Structure 1
Amino acid sequence: MAPTTTPLKEATEAPPPGRQSLSAIAYDALRSRLRTGLVTPEDRLVDLEIAAQLGMSRMPVREALLQLVAEGMLVSTTRGYRIPTLDPKDVMEVFELRKLLEPRAAALAARDLSRAGISQLNAALAEAKAALASGDFPRLFRANVDFRETWIAAVRNKRLAAVVMRCADQVLTVRMSTLRGPEMHPVVVARLQELYESFARHDSVAAHDSMYRFVLAAESAYAAQREKSKQPAAPRRRL
Protein backbone atom coordinates (compact mmCIF):
# COMPACT_ATOMS: atom_id res chain seq x y z
CA MET A 1 0.00 0.00 0.00
CA ALA A 2 1.43 3.38 -0.99
CA PRO A 3 2.18 5.78 1.88
CA THR A 4 -0.38 8.49 2.50
CA THR A 5 0.83 12.00 1.67
CA THR A 6 -0.68 15.37 2.48
CA PRO A 7 -1.85 17.17 -0.65
CA LEU A 8 0.24 20.27 -1.43
CA LYS A 9 -2.83 22.48 -1.29
CA GLU A 10 -3.65 21.35 2.25
CA ALA A 11 -0.03 21.58 3.38
CA THR A 12 0.27 25.20 2.28
CA GLU A 13 -3.12 26.44 3.45
CA ALA A 14 -3.07 29.50 5.70
CA PRO A 15 -4.16 29.26 9.33
CA PRO A 16 -7.86 29.81 10.03
CA PRO A 17 -8.93 33.38 9.24
CA GLY A 18 -10.25 33.90 12.77
CA ARG A 19 -6.87 33.23 14.34
CA GLN A 20 -5.10 35.46 11.81
CA SER A 21 -7.58 38.25 12.45
CA LEU A 22 -7.22 38.08 16.24
CA SER A 23 -3.43 38.03 16.02
CA ALA A 24 -3.51 41.04 13.69
CA ILE A 25 -5.86 42.90 16.04
CA ALA A 26 -3.56 42.22 19.00
CA TYR A 27 -0.50 43.22 16.97
CA ASP A 28 -2.05 46.50 15.82
CA ALA A 29 -3.22 47.36 19.34
CA LEU A 30 0.19 46.66 20.90
CA ARG A 31 2.10 48.41 18.13
CA SER A 32 -0.10 51.47 18.49
CA ARG A 33 0.52 51.58 22.25
CA LEU A 34 4.26 51.33 21.72
CA ARG A 35 4.46 53.94 18.97
CA THR A 36 2.35 56.49 20.81
CA GLY A 37 4.36 56.24 24.03
CA LEU A 38 1.66 54.54 26.11
CA VAL A 39 4.18 51.84 27.08
CA THR A 40 7.19 53.07 29.06
CA PRO A 41 10.56 51.32 29.49
CA GLU A 42 9.51 50.42 33.05
CA ASP A 43 6.34 48.61 31.95
CA ARG A 44 6.09 44.84 31.56
CA LEU A 45 3.65 43.42 29.02
CA VAL A 46 2.13 40.10 30.11
CA ASP A 47 0.22 38.07 27.54
CA LEU A 48 -2.55 36.94 29.92
CA GLU A 49 -3.24 40.51 31.06
CA ILE A 50 -3.29 41.85 27.50
CA ALA A 51 -5.56 39.00 26.37
CA ALA A 52 -8.04 39.92 29.12
CA GLN A 53 -7.91 43.60 28.12
CA LEU A 54 -8.53 42.77 24.45
CA GLY A 55 -11.14 40.11 25.16
CA MET A 56 -9.36 37.27 23.38
CA SER A 57 -7.38 34.13 24.19
CA ARG A 58 -3.71 34.10 25.08
CA MET A 59 -2.42 32.53 21.84
CA PRO A 60 -3.04 35.39 19.35
CA VAL A 61 -1.61 37.87 21.87
CA ARG A 62 1.49 35.73 22.27
CA GLU A 63 1.87 35.57 18.47
CA ALA A 64 1.63 39.36 18.29
CA LEU A 65 4.20 39.82 21.07
CA LEU A 66 6.63 37.44 19.37
CA GLN A 67 6.22 39.32 16.10
CA LEU A 68 7.09 42.57 17.88
CA VAL A 69 10.13 40.85 19.39
CA ALA A 70 11.22 39.77 15.90
CA GLU A 71 10.86 43.38 14.71
CA GLY A 72 13.02 44.68 17.56
CA MET A 73 10.27 46.62 19.34
CA LEU A 74 10.15 44.32 22.38
CA VAL A 75 12.37 41.86 24.22
CA SER A 76 11.26 38.86 26.25
CA THR A 77 12.03 38.64 29.98
CA THR A 78 11.10 36.24 32.77
CA ARG A 79 8.41 38.73 33.86
CA GLY A 80 6.90 39.49 30.47
CA TYR A 81 7.92 41.67 27.54
CA ARG A 82 9.46 45.14 27.65
CA ILE A 83 10.88 47.83 25.40
CA PRO A 84 14.53 46.98 24.64
CA THR A 85 17.42 48.97 26.05
CA LEU A 86 19.96 49.62 23.30
CA ASP A 87 23.61 50.30 23.93
CA PRO A 88 25.04 53.56 22.50
CA LYS A 89 26.74 51.78 19.60
CA ASP A 90 23.42 50.26 18.48
CA VAL A 91 21.68 53.62 18.75
CA MET A 92 24.30 55.44 16.69
CA GLU A 93 24.16 52.73 14.01
CA VAL A 94 20.39 53.24 13.74
CA PHE A 95 20.88 57.00 13.49
CA GLU A 96 23.36 56.44 10.65
CA LEU A 97 20.74 54.40 8.80
CA ARG A 98 18.06 57.00 9.48
CA LYS A 99 20.25 59.79 8.07
CA LEU A 100 20.73 57.75 4.91
CA LEU A 101 17.15 56.54 4.41
CA GLU A 102 14.70 59.04 5.88
CA PRO A 103 15.70 62.05 3.75
CA ARG A 104 15.23 59.97 0.59
CA ALA A 105 11.90 58.65 1.84
CA ALA A 106 10.75 62.19 2.69
CA ALA A 107 11.70 63.37 -0.81
CA LEU A 108 9.57 60.62 -2.34
CA ALA A 109 6.68 61.42 -0.01
CA ALA A 110 6.82 65.11 -0.97
CA ARG A 111 6.38 64.12 -4.59
CA ASP A 112 3.41 61.82 -3.99
CA LEU A 113 1.49 63.19 -0.99
CA SER A 114 -2.19 63.67 -1.76
CA ARG A 115 -4.29 66.65 -0.76
CA ALA A 116 -5.84 64.51 1.98
CA GLY A 117 -2.39 63.51 3.23
CA ILE A 118 -1.25 67.12 3.42
CA SER A 119 -4.44 67.97 5.32
CA GLN A 120 -3.64 65.19 7.82
CA LEU A 121 -0.11 66.53 8.23
CA ASN A 122 -1.52 69.99 8.90
CA ALA A 123 -3.83 68.56 11.57
CA ALA A 124 -0.94 66.72 13.24
CA LEU A 125 1.17 69.90 13.16
CA ALA A 126 -1.67 71.90 14.75
CA GLU A 127 -1.94 69.24 17.45
CA ALA A 128 1.81 69.45 18.09
CA LYS A 129 1.62 73.23 18.43
CA ALA A 130 -1.27 72.95 20.88
CA ALA A 131 0.68 70.37 22.89
CA LEU A 132 3.70 72.68 22.98
CA ALA A 133 1.57 75.58 24.22
CA SER A 134 0.06 73.47 27.01
CA GLY A 135 3.28 71.65 27.93
CA ASP A 136 1.62 68.28 27.27
CA PHE A 137 4.43 65.85 26.42
CA PRO A 138 2.29 62.73 25.72
CA ARG A 139 0.13 64.77 23.36
CA LEU A 140 3.22 66.10 21.55
CA PHE A 141 4.66 62.60 21.28
CA ARG A 142 1.44 61.29 19.71
CA ALA A 143 1.24 64.25 17.30
CA ASN A 144 4.81 63.58 16.21
CA VAL A 145 3.93 59.92 15.60
CA ASP A 146 0.81 60.87 13.60
CA PHE A 147 2.85 63.25 11.44
CA ARG A 148 5.51 60.61 10.80
CA GLU A 149 3.07 57.82 9.96
CA THR A 150 1.13 60.08 7.59
CA TRP A 151 4.08 61.03 5.40
CA ILE A 152 5.58 57.52 5.47
CA ALA A 153 2.23 56.15 4.23
CA ALA A 154 2.71 58.29 1.11
CA VAL A 155 6.02 56.59 0.19
CA ARG A 156 5.21 54.29 -2.73
CA ASN A 157 8.38 52.24 -2.26
CA LYS A 158 6.93 50.04 0.47
CA ARG A 159 10.22 48.29 1.21
CA LEU A 160 11.86 51.64 1.91
CA ALA A 161 8.87 52.75 4.01
CA ALA A 162 9.01 49.53 6.05
CA VAL A 163 12.74 49.87 6.75
CA VAL A 164 12.35 53.53 7.74
CA MET A 165 9.55 52.62 10.14
CA ARG A 166 11.53 49.68 11.53
CA CYS A 167 14.59 51.84 12.25
CA ALA A 168 12.50 54.44 14.05
CA ASP A 169 10.73 51.73 16.05
CA GLN A 170 14.05 50.27 17.21
CA VAL A 171 15.06 53.53 18.90
CA LEU A 172 11.65 54.07 20.50
CA THR A 173 13.15 54.25 24.00
CA VAL A 174 15.69 56.83 22.85
CA ARG A 175 13.00 58.94 21.17
CA MET A 176 10.85 58.87 24.29
CA SER A 177 13.71 59.98 26.54
CA THR A 178 15.11 62.71 24.26
CA LEU A 179 11.68 64.16 23.48
CA ARG A 180 10.78 64.21 27.16
CA GLY A 181 13.18 67.10 27.79
CA PRO A 182 11.25 70.41 27.56
CA GLU A 183 14.11 72.02 25.64
CA MET A 184 13.44 69.65 22.73
CA HIS A 185 9.73 70.43 22.40
CA PRO A 186 10.07 73.71 20.45
CA VAL A 187 12.78 72.09 18.30
CA VAL A 188 10.44 69.25 17.34
CA VAL A 189 7.58 71.60 16.48
CA ALA A 190 9.89 73.84 14.42
CA ARG A 191 11.16 70.81 12.47
CA LEU A 192 7.61 69.59 11.88
CA GLN A 193 6.67 73.05 10.59
CA GLU A 194 9.65 73.05 8.22
CA LEU A 195 8.80 69.58 6.96
CA TYR A 196 5.14 70.45 6.52
CA GLU A 197 5.97 73.45 4.36
CA SER A 198 8.20 71.28 2.15
CA PHE A 199 5.51 68.62 1.81
CA ALA A 200 2.78 71.18 1.12
CA ARG A 201 4.85 72.62 -1.75
CA HIS A 202 5.68 69.11 -3.04
CA ASP A 203 9.31 70.23 -2.82
CA SER A 204 11.35 67.01 -2.75
CA VAL A 205 14.72 68.73 -2.33
CA ALA A 206 13.54 70.81 0.62
CA ALA A 207 11.86 67.76 2.20
CA HIS A 208 15.10 65.78 1.85
CA ASP A 209 17.13 68.51 3.56
CA SER A 210 14.53 69.18 6.25
CA MET A 211 14.35 65.52 7.18
CA TYR A 212 18.12 65.26 7.38
CA ARG A 213 18.18 68.20 9.81
CA PHE A 214 15.37 66.60 11.83
CA VAL A 215 17.25 63.31 12.27
CA LEU A 216 20.48 65.20 12.98
CA ALA A 217 18.72 67.17 15.74
CA ALA A 218 17.50 63.91 17.30
CA GLU A 219 21.00 62.43 17.12
CA SER A 220 22.49 65.56 18.72
CA ALA A 221 19.89 65.47 21.50
CA TYR A 222 20.78 61.85 22.22
CA ALA A 223 24.52 62.64 22.28
CA ALA A 224 23.94 65.58 24.64
CA GLN A 225 21.85 63.41 26.92
CA ARG A 226 24.62 60.79 26.97
CA GLU A 227 27.24 63.38 27.89
CA LYS A 228 25.04 64.76 30.64
CA SER A 229 24.56 61.29 32.12
CA LYS A 230 28.35 60.83 32.31
CA GLN A 231 28.83 63.91 34.46
CA PRO A 232 29.29 63.15 38.17
CA ALA A 233 26.43 64.17 40.41
CA ALA A 234 26.98 67.29 42.49
CA PRO A 235 28.00 66.45 46.07
CA ARG A 236 25.32 66.84 48.70
CA ARG A 237 25.64 69.76 51.03
CA ARG A 238 26.14 68.74 54.62
CA LEU A 239 23.88 70.46 57.10
Structure 2
Amino acid sequence: MASAESKVVKLPRRTALKQTTLTETIFVEIRARLQRGEVGPKDRLLDYEIADEFNCTRMPVRQALLRLVNEGYLVGTTRGFVMPTLTTEDVHEIFEVRRLLEPSAAAGAAAALTDKQEAALKRAYQKARKAYDKGDSALMIEANIEFRDVWLGAVQNARLKATIQRFADHAQQVRLGTLSNPATQKIVVDGMRALLEGFIERDAKQIKSAMLEFILSAEQRYFALLNGQD
Protein backbone atom coordinates (compact mmCIF):
# COMPACT_ATOMS: atom_id res chain seq x y z
CA MET A 1 0.00 0.00 0.00
CA ALA A 2 2.81 2.43 0.89
CA SER A 3 4.48 1.75 -2.46
CA ALA A 4 1.26 2.45 -4.39
CA GLU A 5 0.72 5.70 -2.51
CA SER A 6 4.30 6.73 -3.27
CA LYS A 7 3.74 6.29 -7.00
CA VAL A 8 0.55 8.34 -6.92
CA VAL A 9 2.40 11.24 -5.29
CA LYS A 10 5.45 11.19 -7.57
CA LEU A 11 3.67 11.22 -10.92
CA PRO A 12 2.03 14.66 -10.63
CA ARG A 13 5.24 16.07 -9.15
CA ARG A 14 7.20 14.98 -12.22
CA THR A 15 4.49 16.38 -14.49
CA ALA A 16 4.51 19.70 -12.65
CA LEU A 17 8.29 19.87 -12.88
CA LYS A 18 8.18 19.23 -16.63
CA GLN A 19 5.59 21.98 -17.15
CA THR A 20 7.53 24.41 -14.94
CA THR A 21 10.69 23.77 -16.96
CA LEU A 22 8.82 24.33 -20.23
CA THR A 23 7.26 27.54 -18.91
CA GLU A 24 10.72 28.81 -17.94
CA THR A 25 12.10 27.91 -21.38
CA ILE A 26 9.32 29.80 -23.13
CA PHE A 27 9.68 32.77 -20.77
CA VAL A 28 13.43 33.02 -21.37
CA GLU A 29 13.06 32.71 -25.14
CA ILE A 30 10.35 35.37 -25.47
CA ARG A 31 12.26 37.71 -23.16
CA ALA A 32 15.36 37.23 -25.32
CA ARG A 33 13.37 38.11 -28.44
CA LEU A 34 12.13 41.27 -26.74
CA GLN A 35 15.70 42.15 -25.73
CA ARG A 36 16.99 41.66 -29.27
CA GLY A 37 14.21 43.74 -30.77
CA GLU A 38 12.69 40.80 -32.64
CA VAL A 39 9.32 41.71 -31.14
CA GLY A 40 8.32 45.30 -31.82
CA PRO A 41 5.70 47.69 -30.40
CA LYS A 42 3.26 46.80 -33.20
CA ASP A 43 3.60 43.02 -32.83
CA ARG A 44 1.09 40.83 -31.01
CA LEU A 45 2.02 37.64 -29.22
CA LEU A 46 -0.72 35.00 -29.37
CA ASP A 47 -0.62 32.04 -27.00
CA TYR A 48 -1.86 29.49 -29.55
CA GLU A 49 0.81 30.50 -32.09
CA ILE A 50 3.57 30.19 -29.49
CA ALA A 51 2.13 26.86 -28.31
CA ASP A 52 2.28 25.61 -31.89
CA GLU A 53 5.90 26.77 -32.19
CA PHE A 54 6.93 24.95 -29.01
CA ASN A 55 4.68 21.97 -29.75
CA CYS A 56 2.94 22.21 -26.39
CA THR A 57 -0.41 23.12 -24.86
CA ARG A 58 -1.40 26.74 -24.26
CA MET A 59 -1.09 26.44 -20.45
CA PRO A 60 2.72 26.80 -20.11
CA VAL A 61 2.67 29.51 -22.78
CA ARG A 62 0.07 31.54 -20.90
CA GLN A 63 2.02 31.10 -17.67
CA ALA A 64 5.16 32.42 -19.38
CA LEU A 65 3.28 35.35 -20.94
CA LEU A 66 1.62 36.27 -17.64
CA ARG A 67 5.01 36.22 -15.93
CA LEU A 68 6.27 38.63 -18.60
CA VAL A 69 3.26 40.83 -17.86
CA ASN A 70 3.97 40.72 -14.12
CA GLU A 71 7.58 41.76 -14.75
CA GLY A 72 6.57 44.64 -17.01
CA TYR A 73 7.75 43.26 -20.35
CA LEU A 74 4.27 42.87 -21.85
CA VAL A 75 0.67 43.93 -21.32
CA GLY A 76 -2.35 41.76 -21.98
CA THR A 77 -5.10 42.83 -24.37
CA THR A 78 -8.22 41.17 -25.76
CA ARG A 79 -6.22 40.46 -28.93
CA GLY A 80 -3.04 39.03 -27.45
CA PHE A 81 0.00 40.34 -25.61
CA VAL A 82 1.93 43.44 -26.68
CA MET A 83 4.82 45.56 -25.50
CA PRO A 84 3.78 48.36 -23.13
CA THR A 85 3.64 51.89 -24.48
CA LEU A 86 6.11 53.99 -22.53
CA THR A 87 5.21 57.56 -21.67
CA THR A 88 7.81 60.27 -21.17
CA GLU A 89 7.31 59.89 -17.43
CA ASP A 90 7.85 56.12 -17.70
CA VAL A 91 11.19 56.66 -19.43
CA HIS A 92 12.27 59.23 -16.84
CA GLU A 93 11.43 56.77 -14.06
CA ILE A 94 13.28 53.89 -15.74
CA PHE A 95 16.42 55.97 -16.12
CA GLU A 96 16.09 57.19 -12.53
CA VAL A 97 16.02 53.62 -11.22
CA ARG A 98 19.00 52.73 -13.39
CA ARG A 99 20.97 55.73 -12.09
CA LEU A 100 20.23 54.68 -8.52
CA LEU A 101 21.13 51.00 -8.92
CA GLU A 102 23.57 50.33 -11.74
CA PRO A 103 26.59 52.50 -10.78
CA SER A 104 26.88 50.97 -7.31
CA ALA A 105 26.13 47.46 -8.56
CA ALA A 106 28.75 47.66 -11.30
CA ALA A 107 31.30 49.06 -8.85
CA GLY A 108 30.59 46.20 -6.47
CA ALA A 109 31.00 43.68 -9.29
CA ALA A 110 34.59 44.75 -9.90
CA ALA A 111 36.06 42.67 -7.08
CA ALA A 112 34.18 39.52 -8.14
CA LEU A 113 34.88 39.82 -11.88
CA THR A 114 36.86 36.84 -13.18
CA ASP A 115 39.49 36.82 -15.92
CA LYS A 116 37.03 34.91 -18.10
CA GLN A 117 34.39 37.60 -17.60
CA GLU A 118 36.94 40.31 -18.32
CA ALA A 119 37.74 38.61 -21.63
CA ALA A 120 34.01 38.45 -22.42
CA LEU A 121 33.68 42.19 -21.73
CA LYS A 122 36.52 42.84 -24.16
CA ARG A 123 34.81 40.75 -26.85
CA ALA A 124 31.51 42.57 -26.34
CA TYR A 125 33.30 45.92 -26.59
CA GLN A 126 35.03 44.89 -29.82
CA LYS A 127 31.66 43.79 -31.21
CA ALA A 128 30.25 47.22 -30.34
CA ARG A 129 33.20 48.88 -32.10
CA LYS A 130 32.52 46.78 -35.18
CA ALA A 131 28.81 47.65 -35.04
CA TYR A 132 29.64 51.36 -34.82
CA ASP A 133 32.05 51.18 -37.76
CA LYS A 134 29.42 49.38 -39.86
CA GLY A 135 26.45 51.40 -38.59
CA ASP A 136 24.80 48.11 -37.60
CA SER A 137 22.16 48.84 -34.95
CA ALA A 138 21.16 45.17 -34.55
CA LEU A 139 24.76 44.19 -33.82
CA MET A 140 25.06 47.15 -31.44
CA ILE A 141 22.02 45.95 -29.48
CA GLU A 142 23.55 42.47 -29.32
CA ALA A 143 26.89 43.82 -28.07
CA ASN A 144 25.15 46.05 -25.52
CA ILE A 145 23.19 43.12 -24.09
CA GLU A 146 26.29 40.90 -23.95
CA PHE A 147 28.34 43.55 -22.16
CA ARG A 148 25.61 44.14 -19.58
CA ASP A 149 25.00 40.43 -19.02
CA VAL A 150 28.70 39.83 -18.34
CA TRP A 151 29.16 42.46 -15.64
CA LEU A 152 25.77 41.59 -14.16
CA GLY A 153 27.05 38.04 -13.88
CA ALA A 154 29.61 39.32 -11.37
CA VAL A 155 26.97 40.96 -9.17
CA GLN A 156 26.61 38.82 -6.05
CA ASN A 157 23.16 40.02 -4.93
CA ALA A 158 20.67 37.96 -6.94
CA ARG A 159 17.70 40.25 -6.23
CA LEU A 160 19.65 43.35 -7.23
CA LYS A 161 20.82 41.61 -10.39
CA ALA A 162 17.26 40.63 -11.36
CA THR A 163 15.94 44.14 -10.72
CA ILE A 164 18.63 45.78 -12.84
CA GLN A 165 18.05 43.25 -15.62
CA ARG A 166 14.34 43.97 -15.63
CA PHE A 167 14.60 47.76 -15.71
CA ALA A 168 17.35 47.70 -18.32
CA ASP A 169 15.13 45.49 -20.47
CA HIS A 170 12.24 47.92 -20.01
CA ALA A 171 14.40 50.51 -21.74
CA GLN A 172 14.54 48.29 -24.83
CA GLN A 173 12.02 50.48 -26.65
CA VAL A 174 14.35 53.41 -26.01
CA ARG A 175 17.31 51.53 -27.47
CA LEU A 176 15.34 50.39 -30.50
CA GLY A 177 14.40 53.99 -31.20
CA THR A 178 17.87 55.47 -30.81
CA LEU A 179 20.61 52.95 -31.58
CA SER A 180 20.27 53.44 -35.33
CA ASN A 181 21.63 56.95 -34.75
CA PRO A 182 25.45 57.22 -35.16
CA ALA A 183 25.80 59.74 -32.32
CA THR A 184 23.94 57.39 -29.97
CA GLN A 185 26.10 54.47 -31.07
CA LYS A 186 29.20 56.52 -30.24
CA ILE A 187 27.84 57.17 -26.73
CA VAL A 188 27.44 53.41 -26.26
CA VAL A 189 30.94 52.61 -27.52
CA ASP A 190 32.55 55.36 -25.43
CA GLY A 191 30.60 54.26 -22.37
CA MET A 192 31.64 50.65 -22.82
CA ARG A 193 35.28 51.65 -23.22
CA ALA A 194 35.26 53.69 -20.00
CA LEU A 195 33.60 50.84 -18.12
CA LEU A 196 35.95 48.26 -19.59
CA GLU A 197 38.98 50.27 -18.50
CA GLY A 198 37.58 50.40 -14.97
CA PHE A 199 36.86 46.68 -14.90
CA ILE A 200 40.34 45.83 -16.19
CA GLU A 201 41.84 47.86 -13.35
CA ARG A 202 39.20 46.56 -10.90
CA ASP A 203 38.71 50.24 -10.02
CA ALA A 204 35.31 50.47 -8.32
CA LYS A 205 35.35 54.27 -8.13
CA GLN A 206 36.10 54.63 -11.85
CA ILE A 207 33.41 52.10 -12.75
CA LYS A 208 30.78 53.85 -10.65
CA SER A 209 31.56 57.20 -12.25
CA ALA A 210 31.67 55.75 -15.77
CA MET A 211 28.35 53.95 -15.35
CA LEU A 212 26.59 57.05 -14.05
CA GLU A 213 27.94 59.12 -16.93
CA PHE A 214 26.94 56.40 -19.40
CA ILE A 215 23.33 56.32 -18.17
CA LEU A 216 23.05 60.11 -18.02
CA SER A 217 24.40 60.45 -21.57
CA ALA A 218 21.97 57.82 -22.86
CA GLU A 219 19.05 59.57 -21.17
CA GLN A 220 20.02 62.99 -22.50
CA ARG A 221 20.49 61.58 -25.99
CA TYR A 222 17.09 59.89 -25.95
CA PHE A 223 15.22 63.05 -25.02
CA ALA A 224 17.27 65.13 -27.46
CA LEU A 225 16.17 62.85 -30.29
CA LEU A 226 12.61 62.86 -28.96
CA ASN A 227 12.62 66.65 -29.21
CA GLY A 228 14.03 66.59 -32.74
CA GLN A 229 17.58 67.54 -31.80
CA ASP A 230 20.05 65.51 -33.84
TM-score normalised per structure 2: 0.90
Q: Is the contact made by 2:73 and 2:83 (CA closer than 8 Å) also made in structure 1?
A: yes
**Structure 1 counterpart of 2:172, which letter?**
L
Give matches, 1:134-213, under 5 Å. 134-213=134-213
Q: Which residue of 2 aligns with 1:233?
A: none
Q: What's the offset of the Cα at 1:14?
A: 9.1
- CA distance, structure 1, for counterparts of residue 181 and residue 85 of structure 2: 19
Identify the residue that residue 5 of structure 1 maps to in structure 2.
Answer: none
1:76 alignment partner, SS class: strand
Please tell me whether the aligned partners of residues 71 and 166 of structure 2 are also in contact (alpha carbons under 8 angstroms). Answer: yes
CA RMSD of aligned residues (A): 1.8
CA distance in 2, matches of 1:42, 1:221: 24
User: Which amino acid in the other structure matches residue 114 of structure 1?
Assistant: T
Shift of 1:76: 1.1
Deviation at 1:222, TM superposition (A): 1.8
> Are residue 56 (structure 1) and residue 56 (structure 2) matched?
yes
Q: Which residue of 1 aligns with 2:223?
A: 223
- Percentage of identical aligned residues: 41
CA distance in 2, matches of 1:18, 1:190: 44
Tell me if structure 2 keeps the 8 A contact 1:110–1:199: yes
Which amino acid is 2:81 matched to?
A: Y
Note closer, same or farther for the CA distance 1:171–1:146 as it changes in structure 2 (3 Å cut): same
What's the CA shift for 1:49?
1.3
For 1:119-134, list aligned pairs within 5 A. 119-134=119-134
Q: Bigger radius of gyration, 1 or 2?
A: 1
Partners of 1:180 and 1:82 lie apart in 2 by 23
Q: 1: CA distance between counterparts of 2:174 and 2:37?
A: 11
Aligned partner of 1:227: which letter? N
Please tell me whether the aligned partners of residues 37 and 142 of structure 1 are also in contact (alpha carbons under 8 angstroms): no
SS in 2 for 1:29: helix
SS at match of 1:112: coil
Shift of 1:211: 0.3
Cα offset, 1:15, TM superposition: 6.8
In the TM superposition, what is the alpha-carbon distance from 1:182 to its structure 2 partner? 2.5
Matched residue, 2:27? 27
Q: 1:14 to 1:217 in 2, by over 3 A?
A: farther
8 Å Cα contact 1:109-1:151 kept in structure 2: yes
The alpha-carbon deviation at position 212 of structure 1 amounts to 0.2
CA shift for structure 1 position 61: 1.1
How far apart in 2 are the matches of 1:204 and 1:150?
Answer: 16
State the alpha-carbon separation in 2 of the partners of residues 14 and 186 from structure 1.
Answer: 50
Worse overlay, 103-112 or 169-178: 169-178
Q: CA deviation at 1:37?
A: 1.6
TM-score by length of 1: 0.86
CA contact (8 A) 1:98 1:164 kept: yes
Partner-residue secondary structure (3-state), 1:81: strand
Q: Tell me whether 1:79 sits opposite 2:67 in the alignment.
A: no
Tell me: CA distance 1:102–1:14, structure 2 relative to 1, closer, same or farther (3 Å): farther
SS at match of 2:110: helix
Describe the SS at the equivalent of 2:146: helix
Unmatched tracts of structure 2, length 5 or more: 1-8
User: Which letter maps to 1:43?
Assistant: D
Question: Equivalent residues in 2 for 1:36-115 (5 A)?
Answer: 36-115=36-115
Q: Which runs of 5+ in 1 are unaligned?
A: 1-8, 230-239
User: Is contact 1:124–1:147 with CA below 8 Å preserved after alignment?
Assistant: yes
